A = this chain, B = another copy of it.
Amino acid sequence: MPPRRVIGIDAGGTKLLGGVVDEGLVVHHRVHRTWRGGDRSETIDIIVESVEEVRAAAPDVAAVGFGIPALVEWETGVSRWSTHLPLADVRFRDVMSERLGLPVVVDNDANAALLAESRFGAARFVSNAVLVALGTGIGSGLLLDGRIYRGARGLGAEIGHMVIDLHGPDCQGACPGRGCLEVMASGSAIGREGRAAAAALPESALGRRLAAEQEITGGIVTELAHAGDAAAVSVLAQIGRRLGYGLVGVVNVFNPELIVIGGGAIAAGELLLGPAREVVSERALPPAREMVEIVPATFGDESGMLGAALLAFDSLEGSV
């Protein structure tokens, strides 16, 4: 008998990453999609097509797990609110299960990433950890006393929507708040501050990219910062410090042993994490700040997909 396999899908704010995953957590076939900015039905179609694509290569898969960037009611599998995809009030589990004819399980994308990191990654030896996924937005997952905390109706754990600047900008359509950690320190915020720095410093590498009409994204800022552009380094440091102020709250509220930073923006590495750690070590409460480690996710960008696969395995064992 071949090892049992499932499909894990991480549907992020900008792109989808999926794969066929076996019980040894080996990924056999991968699929990538970028959203085309469509409506709800187009978005769901893209998700279904992605599953079908990998399933064609592995017709033996037994279940599908999804991580989606949405407030997911855990008990019902209903997506109640999404800041990044048109998935508000979608009976996601039921719809997918009907379309695919397979057992389906769905959770918030950051909860899925946390599951992978807590079972097999950075957080595998701790009981209290917070995962912060820096991407288009900021997702987060809470491991509290060894269990993933979902809130009264699975709608919680949105660290990205803690207010860190009550005079800050509106959260740009992502949520009704203002000055949220997400609008201040996500991958999108890196791009936004990068564009401002490029305009202000035309002689910098960032400024020359802008002059060449290249779109300044978080990824470009990170690339130029690693190449030594002072303007780009300074943008990452600014965002890192803002992230640090958010993490001060996280440390004081959760007293975690570990904060795991994931998501695409972690490509910035120490240029982002260094300034964040510095703020935490200066500003958080002394006993708690001394016991917390701030580390990158073991599985990088793939935590969410692997965690979604783990959810699918759990559902087959009836433990979900």
Contact of A253 among B145, B159, B179, B291 (CB under 8 A): B159
Rounded to whole Å, the gap between the CB of A240 and the closest CB of chain B is 13
A154 adjacent to chain B (CB < 8 Å):
yes
Nearest B residue (CB) for A128: B152
Residues of B within 8 A of A135 (CB): none
A232 to B277 CA separation, bound complex (whole angstroms) = 40
Mark out the residues of chain A between 155 and 181 whose CB falls within 8 Å of any chain B CB in the assembled complex: 155-159, 161-167, 175-179
Contact A285 B255 (CB under 8 A): no
Contact A286 B165 (CB under 8 A): no
A257 adjacent to chain B (CB < 8 Å):
yes
Contact B253 A157 (CB under 8 A): yes
Residues of B within 8 A of A149 (CB): 144-145
- Among A16-24, A98-106, A242-250, the one that faces the other chain is A242-250
Binary interface encoding of chain A residues 273-300 relative to chain B, with 1 for a CB under 8 A from any of its CBs, else 0: 0000000001111111001000000000
Contact of A147 among B145, B155, B166, B286 (CB under 8 A): B145
The number of times this chain is found in the oligomer is 2
A contact residues, total (Cβ < 8 Å)? 52
Contact B163 A255 (CB under 8 A): no
Residues of B within 8 A of A175 (CB): 252, 285
Known: A166-B242, A252-B161. A127 touches B152 (CB 8 A): yes
A80 adjacent to chain B (CB < 8 Å):
yes
Binary interface encoding of chain A residues 126-161 relative to chain B, with 1 for a CB under 8 A from any of its CBs, else 0: 111000000000000010110101111111111101
Mark out the residues of chain A between 85 and 110 whose CB falls within 8 Å of any chain B CB in the assembled complex: none
A81 adjacent to chain B (CB < 8 Å):
yes
Contact of A245 among B163, B176, B245, B255 (CB under 8 A): B163
Residues of B within 8 A of A154 (CB): 255
Rounded to whole Å, the gap between the CB of A320 and the closest CB of chain B is 16
A149 to B150 CA separation, bound complex (whole angstroms) = 14
A256 adjacent to chain B (CB < 8 Å):
yes
A125 adjacent to chain B (CB < 8 Å):
no
Contact of A155 among B248, B282, B288 (CB under 8 A): B288
Nearest B residue (CB) for A140: B253
Known: A80-B287, A155-B255, A286-B81. A162 touches B71 (CB 8 A): no
Closest 6 pairs between A and B when the two form their complex, measured CB to CB:
A151-B255, A156-B255, A162-B249, A161-B252, A128-B152, A158-B252
Please list 7 pairs of residues, one from A and one from B, whose beta carbons are closer than 8 Å in the complex, sorted by A's number. A151-B255, A151-B256, A152-B291, A156-B252, A157-B253, A158-B288, A161-B284
Interface residues of A (CB under 8 A from B): 71, 80-81, 126-128, 142, 144-145, 147, 149-159, 161-167, 175-179, 242, 245-246, 248-249, 252-257, 282-288, 291
